[in-house]
Amino acid sequence: MLQRTIRNFVAVAALATSVVACTQGGDGSSGWQMSFDIDKCNLKTVGRSTYFILEPGYQKVLQGGDTKLQITVLNETKKVAGVETRVVEEREWKNGELYEVARNYFAMCEQTKDVFYFGEDVDFYKNGKVVKHDGTWLAGVNGNKVGLLMPGNPKVGMKHFQEFAPGIAMDRAEIVSMDETCQTPAGTFAKCMKVKETSAIDFTAMEYKFHAPDIGLIRDVDLVLISHGFVKP
């Protein structure tokens, strides 16, 4: 998910003053959880945890400057690496023109509520036509592995790979706070989780995301939540 930032990097200096200090190593080989016991999970295509809703029709819209991002849980599934996954679509517009459409594939562990990331299909648009597919990857192909997008029981200091596709997407997440208060056009939210995302491919890429209880992502660098709720799936 950080790949959007790697491809179109936005400075995060405005957030630096509120960053919680990191105390663990993170060089891509130390301290980062890279594998997950999904074989022990009963994987579901529908579910929810404190910070993630995987239910068809759930939609969030974030906006900042000339960019608008719409995230929708679709009434569609796709089998990836032998697992039935839920399709979550991200549509991004710039200056009112469609820029990117990503179809992300998730499944939730029924026992732990962990949300696993099985890959994405990405289309970039120019003048209404698809021009490239940068960032596309699927678990089980070319050595790509399942990542952990959102832990069901997050704790400060947890560090894990969200995506594991060598040479394509190696996004990592570190939970730095669980008690943030976030103001957005859609409201003010308490007990927000703050996540530092970096990449094992592009070491200059970094961003902070904020997730609110019972909503999910509400801030992604300069994009902030303007609406959320259920639409017709």
pLDDT (tens digit, 9 = 90+) per residue, 86-100?
999 999 999 999 999
Q: Whole-model pTM?
A: 0.88
Instruction: Please write the tens of the pLDDT for every residue from 205-214.
Output: 999 999 999 9
pLDDT band at 4 (very low <50, low <70, confident <90, very high): low
The 8 Å CB, 24+ separation contacts for 188-194 are 189/213, 189/215, 189/218, 192/218, 193/51, 193/154, 194/18, 194/20
Nearest-angstrom CA–CA distance, 200 and 30:
12
pLDDT of 15: 32
Strand-pair partners of 185? none
